[in-house]
């Protein structure tokens, strides 16, 4: 049979439902029963992408992150562990929407020709999935697509999204001077735990940190990581039930905590000033929190993690005696206004990009060290290859410089530089707090969040909302931005913006103001302009 015929035969087992699909910020994501045809076609896309990249490995992750248990999703990982290059999202969308098996096969061949893909360049695809009930069948759909092209994918089983990103990068850099690590889970755990233990040497024993794993894949993986960490840290794991599918992200996890600004109900008697953290369903996102002595809840979100990491790394670089090192922080419009002010006060450059990790990641590459976080806890730290070389070649002049340099080097190993990684970020925060001997309230006191409110509005057509200035201003519908500005001007420390979501059929409204009541009121008033 020709390739066309084998694709058609295999595709016929995965008929397309009557639905339009779009590869968005988080790949394809929706109710799992709508996804088999999409995942099959993403398998074809992954093969094309790998061949386009000269036969390098690409990854396919099956997950719907913080979405409810009945949802699932699929996204592609590029060879260095980054998100799929944006220009390819459109090919994914077109493949997913092809009306017949014949059209699927035709479009596959068309792309093969367009990119002049040689038949002798073999595709290499790795796959991983989260713990959802629907995940194994979706992996089967992916494997069926690859098998129809005579490709045998490398299945990493149930893994966190960042673990798969790590593995993809390791596979493609093996044996080069940019080798990222062993392309196995053991390699991942060993790399993180060795760096962590080095950084914690000589630090006094800390109180435990409690980690809510959203009843997702982070639970079992954190359980494994703990074995490698030994007694270098005490981690208490909660919400780690992956057997009861309905519990995933239910009343727990990073999204629940961030959106509701409250504890997961499973934490019934929080210890004042103890450290708590929540992961999301695929463990690429983390937020911290604590209750103070009067039992009031305080969130330490992605902005707080970014400022903590940036100030710590700047200090380490200085203490190592490395000069002319430029460190920048990348945020989105959702970053709290006071976090931005704080970073400016530290004398660090800070830029704002559109929402979505790929935009932040790209902007962070402009620095020797780019620290990027979304307020909701997605984020990581990138060191440029030039910066890594300078750190490696630097000759310290004093024992103090030598010790700082050693820690800086270990940090570059501890941080998953492919993508935001809740497990790696957890260890990063723990290291910094240990080095500063800080309790969570001391960390929190660096700056006070401006009261804020995030709302969503259901609108007839979110595509009529067009933005500029990193999504902070509307250009369309005409006149709406002026109305928003007029409202904002009535509030001290007021700020508000409106943008269409990239992952849900809604428009998001964000507002900040001097008091919580004013922030809520401003958000309501801006929302009312949309109807
Ligand atoms: C306000 C907000 O939290 N938006 C989220 C959300 O994007 P929207 O385009 O706002 O739907 O999902 C993205 C993917 O997970 C994440 O990167 C982003 O931060
Ligand atoms: Mg996630």
d(CA 261, CA 250): 15
374 labelled ligand-binding: yes
What does the alpha-carbon distance between residue 266 and residue 241 come to, in Å, rounded to a whole number?
12
Digit-by-digit pLDDT tens for the chain (531 residues) are 899 999 999 999 999 999 999 998 889 999 999 999 999 999 999 999 999 999 999 999 999 999 999 999 999 999 999 999 999 999 999 999 999 999 999 999 999 999 999 989 999 999 999 999 999 999 999 999 999 999 999 999 999 999 999 999 999 999 999 999 999 999 999 999 999 999 999 897 789 999 999 999 999 999 999 999 999 999 999 999 999 999 999 999 999 999 999 999 999 999 999 999 999 999 999 999 999 999 999 999 999 999 999 999 999 999 999 999 999 999 999 999 999 999 999 999 999 999 999 999 999 999 999 999 999 999 999 999 999 999 999 999 999 999 999 999 999 999 999 999 999 999 999 999 999 999 999 999 999 999 999 999 999 999 999 999 999 999 999 999 999 999 999 999 999 999 999 888 899 999 999 999 999 999 999 999 997
Q: Any bridge partners for residue 453, and if so which?
A: 511
Nearest-angstrom CA–CA distance, 361 and 182:
23
SS3 52: helix
- Residue of 24, 25, 358 with the most ligand 1 atoms within 8 Å of its CB, for mutation: 25
Q: How close is the Cα of 458 to the center of ligand 2, in Å?
A: 23
286 close to 276: Cβ distance less than 8 angstroms: no
Which ligand 1 atom minimizes the distance to the CA of 285? 15
SS3 517: helix
What's the Cα-to-Cα distance from 268 to each of 271, 286, 520, rounded to whole Å?
10, 20, 28
CA 294/CA 377 separation, integer angstroms: 26
Q: Which helix (H) or strand (E) is 193 found in, with range?
A: helix 185-200
* Residue 252 to residue 399: CA distance in whole angstroms: 45
Q: Relative to the CA of 500, which ligand 1 atom is closest?
A: 9
In sign, the C-alpha dihedral spanning 31, 32, 38, 44 is: positive
* CA 56 / ligand 1 centre spacing (Å): 29
Has 402 been annotated as catalytic?
no
ipTM score of complex? 0.99
DSSP state of 184: S
Task: Please provide the distance, in angstroms rounded to a whole number, between the alpha carbons at the two ends of the chain.
Answer: 56
Q: Is 356 close to ligand 1, i.e. is its CB under 6 Å away? A: yes
Length of the chain in residues, anyone? 531
Contact 393, 135 (CB under 8 A): no
Neighbours of 113 (CB within 10 A): 9
Domains of the chain: 3-158 (3.40.120.10), 186-300 (3.40.120.10), 302-444 (3.40.120.10), 452-528 (3.30.310.50)
Q: Say how far apart CA 82 and CA 358 lie, in whole Å.
A: 8
Q: Round to whole Å and give the CA distance between 288 and 217.
A: 18
Atom of ligand 1 nearest to the CA of 504: 11
Q: Given ligand 1 and candidates 355, 360, 379, which is best to mutate, with the most ligand atoms within 8 Å of its CB?
A: 355
User: Which residue of the set 11, 50, 65, 339 is catalytic?
Assistant: 65
Is the CB of 249 within 6 Å of ligand 1? no
334 ligand 1 Cβ < 6 A: yes
- Give me ligand 2 centre to Cα 218, in Å: 10
Q: How far, in Å, is the centroid of ligand 1 from the Cα of 497? A: 15
Instruction: Please choose, from the candidates 275, 297, 285, the residue with its C-alpha nearest in 3D space to the C-alpha of residue 253.
Output: 285
455 lines ligand 1 (CB under 6 A): no
* H or E element, residue 363: helix 357-364
CA–CA distances in Å: residue 94 to residues 38, 187, 528: 10, 37, 36
Question: Is there a cis peptide before residue 91, judged by omega within 30 degrees of 0?
Answer: no
- pTM (2 decimals)? 0.97
Cα distance between residue 466 and residue 300, in whole Å: 31
CA of 250 to the centre of ligand 1 (A): 19
Backbone angles phi, psi at 508, to 5 degrees: -95, 145
Angle subtended at Cα 112 by Cα 108 and Cα 117, rounded to the nearest 5 degrees: 150
Supply 12's token pair.
């016929």
Q: Cα(75)–Cα(70) distance, rounded to whole angstroms?
A: 17
Give the three-state DSSP class for 127. Answer: strand
Which residues are bridge partners to 329 per DSSP? 350, 371
Phi-psi region of 215 (alpha: psi -120 to 50; beta: other; left: phi over 0): left
CB-based contacts of 296: which residues, under 8 Å, 6+ apart? none
For 271-301, b where at least 16 C-beta lie within 10 A, e where not — what string? eeebbbbbbbbbbbbbbbbbbeeeeeebbbb
Do residues 309 and 371 touch, judged by C-beta distance below 8 A? yes
Specify the ligand 1 atom closest to the Cα of 454.
1
92 in Cβ contact with 74 (< 8 Å): no
Ligand 1 proximity of 25 Cβ (cutoff 6 Å): yes
Is there an atom of ligand 1 within 6 Å of 132 CB?
no
Tell me which residue has its CA closest to atom 4 in ligand 1: 355
Decide: 129 and 136 in contact? Cβ < 8 Å: yes
């Amino acid at each position: 049979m020709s390739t066309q015929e084998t694709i058609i035969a295999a595709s016929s087992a995965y008929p397309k439902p009557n639905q339009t699909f779009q590869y968005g910020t988080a790949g394809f994501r929706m109710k799992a029963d709508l996804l088999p045809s999409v995942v099959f076609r993403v398998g074809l896309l992954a093969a094309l992408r790998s061949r386009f990249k000269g036969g390098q490995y690409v990854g396919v992750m099956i997950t719907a992150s913080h979405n409810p248990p009945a949802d699932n999703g699929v996204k592609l990982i590029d060879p260095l562990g980054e998100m799929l290059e944006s220009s390819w999202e459109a090919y994914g969308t077109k493949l997913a929407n092809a009306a017949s098996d014949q059209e699927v096969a035709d479009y596959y061949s068309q792309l093969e020709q367009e990119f002049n893909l040689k038949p002798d360049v073999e595709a290499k695809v790795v796959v991983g999935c989260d713990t959802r009930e629907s995940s194994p069948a979706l992996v089967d759909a992916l494997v069926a697509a690859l098998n129809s092209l005579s490709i045998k994918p490398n299945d990493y089983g149930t893994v966190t999204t960042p673990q798969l990103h790590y593995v993809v990068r390791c596979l493609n850099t093996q044996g080069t001077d940019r080798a990222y690590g062993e392309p196995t889970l053991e390699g991942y755990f060993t790399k993180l735990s060795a760096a962590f233990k080095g950084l914690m040497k000589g630090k006094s024993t800390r109180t435990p940190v409690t980690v809510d794993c959203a009843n997702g894949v982070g639970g079992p993986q954190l359980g494994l990581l703990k074995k490698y960490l030994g007694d270098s840290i005490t981690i208490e794991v909660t919400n780690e039930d992956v057997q009861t599918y309905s519990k995933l992200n239910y009343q727990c996890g990073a999204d629940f905590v961030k959106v509701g600004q409250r504890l997961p109900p499973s934490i019934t008697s929080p210890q004042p000033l103890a450290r708590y953290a929540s992961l999301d369903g695929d463990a690429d996102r983390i937020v911290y929190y604590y209750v103070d002595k009067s039992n009031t809840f305080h969130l330490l979100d992605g902005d707080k993690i970014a400022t903590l990491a940036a100030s710590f790394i700047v200090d380490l670089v200085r203490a190592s005696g490395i000069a002319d090192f430029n460190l920048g922080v990348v945020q989105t419009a959702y970053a709290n206004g006071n976090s931005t002010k704080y970073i400016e006060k530290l004398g660090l450059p800070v830029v704002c990009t559109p929402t979505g990790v790929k935009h932040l990641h790209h902007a962070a590459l402009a620095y020797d060290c780019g620290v990027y976080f979304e307020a909701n806890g997605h984020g990581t730290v990138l060191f440029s290859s030039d910066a890594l070389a300078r750190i490696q070649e630097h000759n310290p002049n004093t024992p103090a410089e030598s010790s700082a340099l050693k820690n800086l080097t270990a940090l570059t190993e501890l941080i998953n530089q492919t993508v935001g990684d809740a497990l790696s970020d957890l260890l990063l925060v723990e290291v910094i707090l240990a080095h500063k001997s800080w309790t969570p309230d001391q960390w929190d006191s660096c700056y006070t969040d401006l009261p804020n409110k995030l709302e969503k509005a259901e609108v007839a057509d979110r595509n009529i909302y067009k933005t500029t200035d990193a999504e902070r201003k509307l250009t369309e519908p005409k006149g709406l931005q002026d109305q928003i500005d007029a409202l904002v001007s009535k509030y001290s420390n007021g700020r508000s913006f409106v943008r269409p979501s990239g992952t849900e059929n809604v428009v998001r409204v964000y507002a900040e103001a001097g008091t919580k009541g004013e922030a809520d009121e401003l958000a309501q008033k801006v929302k009312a302009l949309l109807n």
